[in-house]
């Protein structure tokens, strides 16, 4: 069961993984000497789930040594009806030991600081880097340019978005009082909710970077935000408004985390 789960999620190789428990306690004794103890739990190493009994303290002089695991196999015999007593039960456990700094990992020992929580490892596996959507709309609909950065947290089923946009031809937008929706890009499949639209707010600021309130074409100073809606087909709609004379360019920016449930 564990082998299939680890392989399916890309957690392969010789990295030691903490399934649960196994908290390490490091206590100063004197100088560079520390006592290490480990709480009970289970770990995964080289294709095997290994029991970790609570143990310690183990003294480690960190000027020359580091804290390593020690994988021990204890064979337990059973008495058969014919009187034989073969070793039929093997209990594999992990405890702590001091090893010289730089000692290579092996099948019966590994550097404890390299152990990674399964939860952390899964989070890293399912949290890819940022992808980018380039934005370049026609001048007649505002001439919006810039980038939308996005990534998905698969475990939490959330979408992370960063907007960095410039409205280069704002006088071509529809005048007040209502903002008009403009489609500026489309999210790829799997990065939107096909069951319903997702609405949120991002910021609007002056081109000079001061984030001053942008006036509408009637001269009212109130435009600080823009509504955005991602449709159930992935279209990114942004609601923009024509500004007052003198505001030849303005910025649209922001970062949001959106549930995809």
- Domain identity same for 140 and 114: no
Provide the residue range defining the domain that includes 46: 2-125
Give the residues across from 112 on adjacent strands: none
Q: Are residues 96 and 167 located together in one domain of the fold?
A: no
The CATH number given to whatever domain includes residue 223 is: 2.60.40.1830
Same structural domain, 11 and 107: yes
Domain match, 104 and 164 both: no
Q: Which of 84, 106, 125 is the last residue of a domain?
A: 125
Smallest CA-to-CA distance from 149 within 161, 157, 139, 138 is with 161
Q: Are residues 108 and 222 in the same domain?
A: no
Six-digit token pair at 51?
Answer: 């029991």
Cα distance between residue 165 and residue 46, in whole Å: 48
Reported as a single tens digit per residue, the pLDDT across 201-247 is 998 876 654 445 676 666 666 678 889 999 999 999 999 988 887 77
The beta strands (E) that lie in the chain are given as 17-21, 24-30, 33-38, 41-45, 48-52, 55-61, 65-77, 87-100, 116-117, 131-136, 144-153, 158-167, 180-186, 198-206, 214-215, 221-223, 225-230, 235-240, 250-259
Is residue 98 domain-shared with residue 209, that is, in the same domain? no
Same domain, 70 and 186: no
Q: What is the pLDDT of residues 179-206, one digit of tens each?
A: 889 999 999 998 999 999 999 999 887 6
Q: Of the residues 125, 156, 189, which one is the last residue of a structural domain?
A: 125
Residue 7 CB contacts under 8 Å (≥ 6 apart), including other chains: none
Q: Minimal CA–CA distance to 25: which of 48, 56, 68?
A: 56
Both 46 and 62 in a single domain?
yes
If asked whether residues 119 and 188 sit together in one domain, one would say no
- Please say whether the beta carbons of 161 and 258 come within 8 A: yes
User: What pLDDT is attached to residue 157?
Assistant: 85
Structure confidence at residue 150 (pLDDT): 95
Condensed to tens digits (0 to 9), the pLDDT of residues 119-146 reads 777 777 666 789 999 999 999 999 999 9
Let me know whether 172 and 72 are in one domain. Answer: no
- Of 99, 125, 151, which marks where a domain is finished? 125
Find out whether 110 and 22 touch, Cβ atoms under 8 Å: no
User: Which of 87, 83, 22, 27 minimizes the C-alpha distance to 50?
Assistant: 22
Q: Are 161 and 149 in contact (CB under 8 A)?
A: yes
Parallel, antiparallel or unpaired: strands 41-45 and 55-61: unpaired
Q: Return the number of other C-beta atoms located less than 10 Å from residue 39's C-beta.
A: 15
Residue 246 and residue 149 in one domain: yes
Name the domain count of the chain. Answer: 2
pTM as predicted? 0.57
Based on the fold, state whether residues 109 and 155 are members of the same structural domain: no
């Amino acid at each position: 069961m564990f082998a299939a789960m680890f392989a399916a999620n890309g957690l392969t190789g010789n990295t030691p993984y903490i399934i649960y428990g196994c908290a390490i306690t490091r206590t100063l004794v004197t100088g560079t000497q520390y006592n290490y103890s480990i709480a009970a739990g289970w770990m995964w190493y080289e294709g095997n789930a290994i029991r970790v009994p609570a143990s310690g303290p183990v003294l480690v002089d960190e000027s020359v040594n580091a804290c390593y695991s020690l994988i021990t196999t204890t064979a337990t015999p059973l008495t058969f009806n014919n009187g034989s007593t073969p070793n039929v039960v093997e209990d594999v456990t992990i405890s702590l030991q001091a090893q010289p700094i730089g000692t290579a990992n092996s099948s019966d020992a590994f550097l404890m600081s390299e152990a990674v929580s399964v939860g952390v490892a899964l989070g890293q596996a399912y949290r890819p880097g940022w992808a980018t959507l380039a934005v370049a709309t026609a001048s007649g609909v505002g001439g919006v340019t810039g980038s939308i950065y996005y990534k998905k947290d698969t475990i939490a089923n959330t979408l992370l978005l960063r907007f960095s946009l410039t409205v280069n031809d704002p006088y071509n937008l529809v005048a007040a009082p209502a903002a008009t929706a403009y489609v500026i890009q489309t999210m790829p499949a799997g990065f939107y909710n096909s069951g319903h639209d997702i609405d949120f707010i991002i910021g609007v600021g002056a081109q000079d970077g001061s984030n001053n309130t942008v006036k509408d074409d009637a001269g009212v100073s109130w435009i600080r935000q823009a509504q955005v809606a991602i449709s159930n087909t992935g279209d990114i709609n942004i609601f923009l408004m024509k500004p007052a004379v003198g505001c030849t360019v303005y910025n649209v920016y922001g970062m949001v985390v959106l549930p995809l449930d």
